[in-house]
Amino acid sequence: MSGSSYGQLFKVSTWGESHGPGIGVVVDGCPAGLPLTVADIQKDLDRRRTGQSKVTTTRKETDEVRILSGVFQGKTTGTPIGLWIENQDADSSKYELIKDLYRPGHADFSYDMKYGFRDYRGGGRSSARETAGRVAAGAIARKLLLRKKITIIGYTLQIGPYIAKKIDYKEIEKNIVRCPDKKVAKQMIDHILDARKRGDSVGGIIEIVAKGVPAGLGEPVFDRLDADLAKAMMCIPAVKGVEVGVGFSAATLSGSECNDPFIAKGKKICVKTNHAGGILGGISSGADIVLRFVVKPTASINQEQDTVDRNGKKSKIRVEGRHDPCVAPRAVPIGEAMAALTLIDHLMRLQHSKL
Amino acid sequence: MSGSSYGQLFKVSTWGESHGPGIGVVVDGCPAGLPLTVADIQKDLDRRRTGQSKVTTTRKETDEVRILSGVFQGKTTGTPIGLWIENQDADSSKYELIKDLYRPGHADFSYDMKYGFRDYRGGGRSSARETAGRVAAGAIARKLLLRKKITIIGYTLQIGPYIAKKIDYKEIEKNIVRCPDKKVAKQMIDHILDARKRGDSVGGIIEIVAKGVPAGLGEPVFDRLDADLAKAMMCIPAVKGVEVGVGFSAATLSGSECNDPFIAKGKKICVKTNHAGGILGGISSGADIVLRFVVKPTASINQEQDTVDRNGKKSKIRVEGRHDPCVAPRAVPIGEAMAALTLIDHLMRLQHSKL
Amino acid sequence: MSGSSYGQLFKVSTWGESHGPGIGVVVDGCPAGLPLTVADIQKDLDRRRTGQSKVTTTRKETDEVRILSGVFQGKTTGTPIGLWIENQDADSSKYELIKDLYRPGHADFSYDMKYGFRDYRGGGRSSARETAGRVAAGAIARKLLLRKKITIIGYTLQIGPYIAKKIDYKEIEKNIVRCPDKKVAKQMIDHILDARKRGDSVGGIIEIVAKGVPAGLGEPVFDRLDADLAKAMMCIPAVKGVEVGVGFSAATLSGSECNDPFIAKGKKICVKTNHAGGILGGISSGADIVLRFVVKPTASINQEQDTVDRNGKKSKIRVEGRHDPCVAPRAVPIGEAMAALTLIDHLMRLQHSKL
Amino acid sequence: MSGSSYGQLFKVSTWGESHGPGIGVVVDGCPAGLPLTVADIQKDLDRRRTGQSKVTTTRKETDEVRILSGVFQGKTTGTPIGLWIENQDADSSKYELIKDLYRPGHADFSYDMKYGFRDYRGGGRSSARETAGRVAAGAIARKLLLRKKITIIGYTLQIGPYIAKKIDYKEIEKNIVRCPDKKVAKQMIDHILDARKRGDSVGGIIEIVAKGVPAGLGEPVFDRLDADLAKAMMCIPAVKGVEVGVGFSAATLSGSECNDPFIAKGKKICVKTNHAGGILGGISSGADIVLRFVVKPTASINQEQDTVDRNGKKSKIRVEGRHDPCVAPRAVPIGEAMAALTLIDHLMRLQHSKL
């Protein structure tokens, strides 16, 4: 009930803290018979892990995953898949100095109000380290989706004022900011490194595209596909907004501009344009699902900031841990994972929509 | 499992269709002992109902609510509260003509793909009429929240290019677009009426503010308060984006600009600024919750559009029903209701966070 | 959260009280495309309703069901099916006299402790009247099960000391106690009428058999089929025990007696005996599901009993309402309905067990 | 969705198999601030573990539990508590010989039908080994219950024809069958050892008593306390029946015998007798909760039995693993744990019943 589970049919539960023994995740609801190896999962974890480039934190975690249950003779058994990722480079020493201070922009204060204590060692459950579990679970979801030819691609669309102008999927993993526009990628990298030099951080926007999603995913009313995707993205640390298709620009459009006409391509009915981002009335239309989410600049900055301690005493704080100057590049695989978990769940629910 | 329930402790389930006998809602989880009358609920329903002004649809529904269970001697009993709102002015005749055509921007096609049939009479479950049930349930939630001095205010922030510059709460219900800026309200009204004249529609942005929310609401990881609010808003028909606090503008901010320093006001610790929109690490900080959502221009427009029929045959469609030229004004009470349902649920969950 | 919902994929929520306007039920999760009429549902309701014979209460309820949503052109739409059964013969006058007294064997006291008030008018939510909603929902479940050739038969196995010796399905609905043994049925009827004459009541045992259930229903660990069936039966008012297959007699059996050997019938593997009652390791084996539940003698008796009032003052009580002298005959369709709801839910879950 | 989670507010999820690396459990919903050590949990695990006496299996598992998350500075954090128990003495060799045969009375066949494969190594998820996770979680629940002075006591009431005549709580843990009647305990032990000698097994009945439970626990309709307890007990491996209070004997009682009169003890209202087993209308009355469940004789017996292989070919099987000749003694702590998990969940739900 602490909010650590996601999904109704493909249920994922994460546990573990940033500076404890490690991060665990249980996937309950994966059908039996899916071939599954450590390598299937490790691939995505490697794109999320720390220390992968000069624009990420220097904490060194190999994020090696162990499969502890739910796989027998190389295939899933239909029962819970337990995964475990040990923490290796947790260093709490830097945090000792600020253990009574609330870090601005962090969850320290709100957690303390909620639970009556402060896990000062890097955020505990609120740490982005927890997302390793989600990415591991997402890798299993993606393997299932792939059987239905559904693929998910994420990339950095914007960092600071720099916006990708070209969307070349082949470029994404070639640069350390995961930008589909080679030229803009360089500007983004410079912008991040410049911020890091100043002890500051920057925000950005990630775009997620799901291809091959059949029409009919999503449920009426509350569990709409867009609503569940909005939750899925917004529950990623640092995210402050989500939009689908034309998103916030819809405010200045007219209906005649915004509506997507239906056309037939051979026997298949589809939309001519995709302003809706692939979702109509909360249910997928068969067009690409297109959504974006914004990540705020990392809260941990190496600059002096005003704050108070647990007794309300005025103080100054400078957060000297090892932090990402921009979380966007590492948020890409997390966004993909959350999209995958949402889509697989709705794909399974779809099986019950008609006789 | 068709996605018609919302909430974990304060659980709301809606049922009923636009052109069936009526709309029902069951509220399961309201504690016993709350004084509750029809008037408590009707108040909010009246702000949502059709035909309330010249910028809304002309369908005339009184939306009179009946309490069918869960209240005894004027107080809630702790068992399910059943509410019922009869449809009175459902007119399916206009829809007969277009019963085999997919309306662009509507859920006709995606529902057909999902369920294998088309409820051509005004959208069935996908109709905004269903939100009457949410608003009714939300009114009960608001009554509970008020006991803890938590209030929710919604208003239209933007319609087309017109953005409120002043936020004067007293103005909101004085104009038919629910804009807190008297002067801009007039421009918004003209903009909507102009679109209607052209048989077109316009979009807009609504802002919701929750005041008096204690720190500690929201759960770590998946059921973050902002994540649940994002889902709550995105599941409102026509919504294409949600943002909290600085929202999408976070992309171009630096950490030193974006972080909210902590200060002490007497014995109370709070934030000096509120860029976070009242939520830190997914958990409320005690500051005002501030969020925005965008509604697309109404899909039903009185202009000829390209489409196909169920067999893929090319066709033209002009939707001649009675539609809101802009859904923003009526979306305000729906947004408030969804925020109320989310907050009461998390307030109840908060009781279990510590001993 | 008040415990009024049942099922994970085929979700049933009941609402309404014994002496309020009526009883409602929402079925959420029925796939689209099932032909459904009032008659389909009424059939089972008629077997549960009051006043059907001289061994039941004389309260006269026609229990006419209305379908308020979820059916379009004679078929289910895949969205919530709302059903409504009006109360017609609610007579609270008899209850006025005992409104401050706790009736022994009833839920008056425990509800008062829980909710802080007493709905003295016939039990409110704790009344067996609520089960009308379950039977209505169960009728839909049974229609779905029938498509897979799964049928459910219930009957009275024992009333007082009288135990059916023959199980002749054709006899069940021919006698008013629903006993499959014609001769014993007469003894049971006499036993009940004799108790009624004394102002007393008697208990009994119902057996439920589900035929045609495929192997594989039920989930490991907590949501075992037998565990869910145990809950399903125990949540029927007045039930004090449930057993599957050999049940409590297992205590005195040895493993060599109790185990069911496997045999092959043509290409089909099955069990030679069925001591397990069709469930192995919590999962159906393909053999008939066989279970029994016991109902206690009706708590409302027309004899003077010791009790106290809400202030703890000693008093005498005689319950003069219209009560069943034995609930077993009317519990048969309720048991069948609860079994149907459990089986359809697990049948739907089964679809996700393997690729 | 594979049925491996239990509870709504105090949610327990187990994972892991009998012959895999170990057994895990995640407790989600334990409030922050509860002092918790390994010793708190180990105590109950030691009563469940294998090899504890001559009437249990000889598999030697120390069942040492590790706390992997959710505890910081000796107290729970309010976030998921991850527990891990390594398998140490898993010996699959005996199972290799029978890997294609279905063991009578076991879940081999039903799991194979469900999942399409057979984890022949001791039952996988269906093994009683999985219950180690439940007992570990139950120990946390019991610590929480104890703060409200709620205690749970379980004991073996019957094995074969031998029934405890005296209920002396102090005797229970003094004998290896956990019988509260010293003299009968000896007969039970002889009966078990005699069965083992013959390569056979025996069944038994366990009684669970919960003391100090306040009135008001349980929800109306489906989530009744007795219904949830019935599920809780029935989901323990080998259980074939559950009853509360007078249980199945209610069939032959009259209402005047069965009803418990209310009396006042000082200011407290309570029942004079407790035929109801502490539950009225599905809600606790404040009296002791009393329930019983029956365990069938262990399915694994060292005698030749008829069976078939996966292709339906006739065969003989003799199960030579290390098995309990009677599961009753080790089922006692499991029953206690399941009762504890059910009670803590309802105790938390009770907080929402009234204002």
8 Å CB contact of B1 and C16? no
Smallest Cβ–Cβ distance between A107 and the set B258, B268, B281 belongs to B281
Smallest Cβ–Cβ distance between C72 and the set B78, B82, B119 belongs to B119
CATH number of the domain residue D121 falls in:
3.60.150.10
Nearest residue in chain A measured CA to CA from D67: A21
Structure tokens at D329: 């003694």
8 Å CB contact of A200 and B107? no
Residue C135 has what pLDDT? Answer: 98
8 Å CB contact of B312 and A257? no
Does a structural domain hold residue C72?
A: yes
C62 pLDDT higher than 80: yes
Name the strand (E) or helix (H) holding B230. Answer: helix B225-234
Q: How far is CA C225 from CA A138, A352, D240, D282, in A?
A: 30, 20, 12, 21
| Domain count within chain C | 1
Place of tokens 């982005």: A128
- In this structure, of A343-352, B46-55, C261-270, the range with the lowest mean pLDDT score is B46-55
Gap from D78 CA to chain B (nearest CA, Å): 6
> φ and ψ at A175, to 5 degrees?
-125, 155
Partners of B147 on chain D (C-beta within 8 Å) are: 355
Q: What percent of chain D is predicted at pLDDT more than 70?
A: 99
Does a structural domain hold residue A61?
A: yes
Partners of D260 on chain C (C-beta within 8 Å) are: 104-105
Q: Residue type for A136, please? A: A
The Cβ of residue D11 has, within 10 Å, a number of other Cβ atoms equal to 22
Nearest residue in chain B measured CA to CA from A296: B250
C13 pLDDT higher than 80: yes
Mutate one of D15, D225, D242 to test the C interface: name it (highest C CB count within 10 A). Answer: D242
Residue C2 has what pLDDT? Answer: 79
Residue A320 has what pLDDT? Answer: 77
- Mean per-residue pLDDT for A97-113? 94
8 Å CB contact of C17 and B72? yes
Partners of D70 on chain B (C-beta within 8 Å) are: none
Mutate one of A240, A267, A355 to test the B interface: name it (highest B CB count within 10 A). Answer: A240
C255 pLDDT higher than 80: yes
Partners of B9 on chain D (C-beta within 8 Å) are: 352
Q: Residue type for C343, please? A: L
Q: How far is CA D193 from the centre of its chain?
A: 23
A94 pLDDT higher than 80: no
SS3 of chain B: helix, strand, coil, percent, to 5: 30, 25, 45
Nearest residue to D251 via CA among C208, C291, C294, C155: C294
Smallest Cβ–Cβ distance between D33 and the set B29, B31, B354 belongs to B354
8 Å CB contact of B4 and A219? yes
Q: How far is CA A112 from CA B263, C191, D32, D78, in A?
A: 16, 65, 11, 11
A71 pLDDT higher than 90: yes
Are residues A136 and A41 in contact, defined by beta-carbon separation less than 8 angstroms?
A: yes
CA distance B227 to A231: 4
8 Å CB contact of C147 and A355? yes
Place of tokens 């409120």: B164
**Residue A29: CA atoms inside 13 Å, Cβ hemisphere, count?**
24
8 Å CB contact of C31 and A353? yes
8 Å CB contact of C34 and A355? yes
Partners of C220 on chain A (C-beta within 8 Å) are: 79
CA distance D179 to D174: 9
Does a structural domain hold residue C355?
A: no
8 Å CB contact of A26 and D28? no
Smallest Cβ–Cβ distance between B251 and the set A205, A217, A312 belongs to A205
Are residues B214 and A215 in contact, defined by beta-carbon separation less than 8 angstroms?
A: no
Size of interface A-D (CB pairs under 8 A): 140
Structure tokens at D128: 């009683």
Nearest residue in chain D measured CA to CA from A82: D15
Nearest residue to C119 via CA among D225, D220, D286: D220
C91 pLDDT higher than 90: no
8 Å CB contact of C352 and A348? yes
Smallest Cβ–Cβ distance between A116 and the set B202, B220, B354 belongs to B354
Question: Cα D346–D347–D353 angle (5° rounding)?
Answer: 80
Gap from C117 CA to chain D (nearest CA, Å): 10
A322 pLDDT higher than 80: no
Mutate one of D86, D115, D129 to test the A interface: name it (highest A CB count within 10 A). Answer: D115
Does a structural domain hold residue C113?
A: yes
D91 CB contacts (<8 Å, ≥6 apart)? D59, D322
Gap from C73 CA to chain D (nearest CA, Å): 32
C130 CB contacts (<8 Å, ≥6 apart)? C14, C16, C17, C18, C23, D220, D221
Partners of B303 on chain A (C-beta within 8 Å) are: 255-256
Residue C178 has what pLDDT? Answer: 98
- In this structure, of A55-69, A270-284, C188-202, the range with the lowest mean pLDDT score is A55-69
- In this structure, of A81-95, C32-46, C146-160, D136-150, the range with the lowest mean pLDDT score is A81-95
DSSP letter, residue C18: T
Nearest residue to C221 via CA among B272, A156, D1: D1
CA distance C243 to C229: 9
Gap from D179 CA to chain B (nearest CA, Å): 36
| Position C288 confidence tier, pLDDT thresholds 50, 70, 90 | very high
8 Å CB contact of B77 and C124? yes
Does a structural domain hold residue B298?
A: yes
D319 pLDDT higher than 90: no
8 Å CB contact of B352 and D79? no
3-state DSSP assignment of residue C11: strand
Gap from C10 CA to chain A (nearest CA, Å): 9
CA distance C127 to C92: 13
- Mean per-residue pLDDT for D324-341? 97
Are residues D206 and D331 in contact, defined by beta-carbon separation less than 8 angstroms?
A: yes
| Position D50 confidence tier, pLDDT thresholds 50, 70, 90 | confident
CA distance C92 to B247: 57
Are residues A110 and A119 in contact, defined by beta-carbon separation less than 8 angstroms?
A: no
- Mean per-residue pLDDT for D138-157? 98
Partners of C146 on chain A (C-beta within 8 Å) are: none
Are residues C263 and D101 in contact, defined by beta-carbon separation less than 8 angstroms?
A: no
Q: How far is CA D47 from CA B25, B222, B274, in A?
A: 49, 36, 54
Residue B118 has what pLDDT? Answer: 84
Does a structural domain hold residue D294?
A: yes
Residue C63 has what pLDDT? Answer: 92
Gap from A264 CA to chain D (nearest CA, Å): 38
D212 pLDDT higher than 90: yes
Nearest residue to C125 via CA among B313, D224, B224, D292: D224
pLDDT in tens, chain B (355 residues): 689 999 999 999 999 999 899 999 999 999 999 999 999 999 999 999 988 888 888 888 899 999 999 999 999 999 999 999 999 987 778 788 888 999 999 999 999 999 999 888 878 899 999 999 999 999 999 999 999 999 999 999 999 999 999 999 999 999 999 999 999 999 999 999 999 999 999 999 999 999 999 999 999 999 999 999 999 999 999 999 999 999 999 999 999 999 999 999 999 999 999 999 999 999 999 999 999 999 999 999 999 999 999 999 999 999 877 789 999 999 999 999 999 999 999 999 999 999 9
Are residues D78 and D32 in contact, defined by beta-carbon separation less than 8 angstroms?
A: yes
Does a structural domain hold residue B171?
A: yes
Q: How far is CA D81 from CA B36, B348, B355, D29, in A?
A: 40, 21, 16, 9
Nearest residue to A202 via CA among A55, A334, A316: A55
Nearest residue in chain A measured CA to CA from C147: A355
Does a structural domain hold residue B139?
A: yes
Q: Which domain holds residue B343?
A: 7-350
